[in-house]
């Protein structure tokens, strides 16, 4: 089970129908423009494989141009790859006029990433992106249940104000970290199993703290979740991350955690509102980049526009 929310950083995909059976894909993030003459040319070779897998899995015959862009860099820990996968599935679903529920879209994005391409990782990012908002998500052997949380508006405003999102200045390859975590779980390592059990209990406690407006308790629980997360694999943290976290606690943070698998990307801090300016200043002195953000509650969105009937998604 996980507790997740979505923020106003997006993955965008635009589709423009064209003549013939070819594909043109332009990725602003990778500064790549690629052309494929037929569906048979969509071979996995490390270039735009996520796009190719989405086109193949959704059964697109060709005759289209795609433009892709994300607000967050790959490897940032914000789930940018899975969010792009959701955007692509939602976009192609609209283009093909294929009815799909949010659950089916999330499952398709998961299948494309984890099974079709074999990328290491879980499935929480796909469900978070598809549904949007604050959710308590339960993962069972045969199903996933997304429970939307009715958190009071006052609590959400205060939480948003007291959270600080900081980019560490470096990305990382999450697959390697997750591979070690999975291997430790399969081996039944006592420290890892205990950490996972504690994190599960913390998830429930954090959900209850949000629903009842106990934000100081939430901040303290966030710190405990970070302590347990570091027990999963040694690559989760680094001397630079530890230094940043230590300074944050000294200048107003109550708790925090690295986002995603760890090793780099973004750190989220919960702070004393009176010391938020001190915290942001200290993080920037260490080379961090404090990023403004807000909560987003809508999840996947698709729309048509223009004479060419462009289909867009985010």
pLDDT tens for 131-167 read 999 999 999 989 999 999 999 999 999 999 999 999 9
For 35, the 3-state DSSP assignment is: strand
Q: Tell me what pLDDT residue 307 has.
A: 61
57 with 164, same domain: the answer is no
CATH number for position 275: 3.30.70.890
118 with 217, same domain: the answer is no
CATH number for position 69: 3.30.230.120
196-209 mean pLDDT = 95
242 with 275, same domain: the answer is yes
Residue 147 lies in a domain: no
19 with 75, same domain: the answer is yes
Q: Residue 218 — very low, low, confident or very high, per pLDDT cuts 50/70/90? A: very high
Each residue's pLDDT tens digit, 223-272: 999 999 988 888 888 889 999 999 999 999 999 999 886 777 899 999 99
Residue 139 lies in a domain: no
Q: Tell me what pLDDT residue 51 has.
A: 96
Pairing verdict, β 266-271 and 253-258: antiparallel
Residue 285 lies in a domain: yes
72 with 98, same domain: the answer is yes
Domain that holds residue 60: 2-133+297-313
Each residue's pLDDT tens digit, 20-58: 889 999 999 888 999 999 999 999 999 999 999 999 999
160 with 46, same domain: the answer is no
Both tokens assigned to 161? 């104000």
Asked if 180 is an active-site residue, the reply is: no
Each residue's pLDDT tens digit, 273-295: 999 999 999 999 999 999 999 99
Residue 160 lies in a domain: yes
Q: Is 10 exposed, middle or buried (0-12, 13-18, 19+ CB in 10 A)?
A: buried
157-186 mean pLDDT = 75
250 with 230, same domain: the answer is yes
Q: What percent of the chain has pLDDT over 70?
A: 92
Residue 166 lies in a domain: yes
Both tokens assigned to 105? 């879209």
Q: Which of 29, 37, 125, 298 is catalytic?
A: 125
288-305 mean pLDDT = 94
Max intra-chain CA distance, the chain: 61
212 with 268, same domain: the answer is yes
181 with 286, same domain: the answer is yes
275 with 302, same domain: the answer is no
Residue 237 lies in a domain: yes
What is the domain count for the chain? 2
Among 51, 104, 28, 113, smallest CA distance to 79 is for: 113
CB count within 10 Å of CB 141 equals: 4
Among 54, 32, 33, 30, smallest CA distance to 42 is for: 54
Backbone φ, ψ for residue 22 (5° rounding): -90, 170
19 with 55, same domain: the answer is yes
Q: Tell me what pLDDT residue 308 has.
A: 56
Q: Tell me what pLDDT residue 286 has.
A: 94
303 with 214, same domain: the answer is no
Residue 144 lies in a domain: no
Q: What is the pTM (predicted TM-score) of this model?
A: 0.91
- Give one word for 41, left, alpha or beta, with left for phi > 0 and alpha for psi -120 to 50: alpha
Q: Tell me what pLDDT residue 72 has.
A: 84
Among 271, 134, 156, 263, smallest CA distance to 203 is for: 134
Compute the distance between CA of residue 249 and CA of residue 246 in angstroms, rounded to an integer. Answer: 5
Residue 53 lies in a domain: yes
Compute the distance between CA of residue 206 and CA of residue 202 in angstroms, rounded to an integer. Answer: 6
């Amino acid at each position: 089970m996980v507790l997740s929310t979505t923020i106003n950083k997006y993955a965008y995909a635009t589709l423009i129908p064209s003549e013939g059976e070819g594909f043109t894909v332009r990725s602003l993030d990778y500064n790549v423009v690629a052309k494929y003459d037929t569906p048979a040319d969509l071979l996995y070779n490390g270039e735009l494989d996520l796009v190719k897998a989405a086109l193949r899995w959704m059964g697109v015959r060709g005759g289209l141009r795609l433009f892709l862009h994300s607000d967050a860099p790959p490897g940032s820990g914000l789930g940018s790859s899975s969010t792009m996968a959701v955007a692509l599935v939602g976009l192609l679903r609209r283009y093909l006029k294929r009815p799909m529920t949010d659950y089916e879209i999330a499952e398709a994005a998961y299948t494309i990433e984890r099974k079709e391409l074999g990328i290491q990782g879980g499935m929480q990012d796909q469900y978070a992106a598809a549904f949007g908002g604050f959710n308590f998500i339960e993962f069972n052997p045969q199903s996933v249940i997304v429970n939307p949380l009715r958190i009071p508006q006052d609590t959400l405003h205060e939480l948003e104000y007291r959270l600080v999102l900081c980019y560490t200045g470096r990305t990382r390859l999450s697959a390697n970290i997750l591979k070690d975590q999975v291997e430790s779980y399969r081996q039944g390592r006592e420290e890892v199993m205990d950490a996972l059990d504690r994190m599960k209990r913390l998830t429930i406690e954090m959900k209850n703290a949000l629903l009842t407006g106990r934000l100081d308790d939430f901040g303290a629980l966030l710190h405990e979740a970070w302590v347990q997360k570091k027990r999963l694999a040694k690559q989760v943290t680094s001397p630079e991350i530890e230094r940043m976290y230590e300074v944050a606690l000294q200048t107003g943070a109550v708790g925090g955690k690295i986002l995603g698998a760890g090793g780099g990307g973004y750190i989220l801090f919960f702070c004393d509102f009176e010391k938020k300016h001190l915290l942001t200043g200290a993080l920037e002195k260490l080379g961090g980049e404090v990023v403004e953000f807000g909560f987003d509650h809508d999840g996947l969105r698709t729309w048509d526009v223009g004479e060419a009937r462009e289909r867009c998604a985010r």
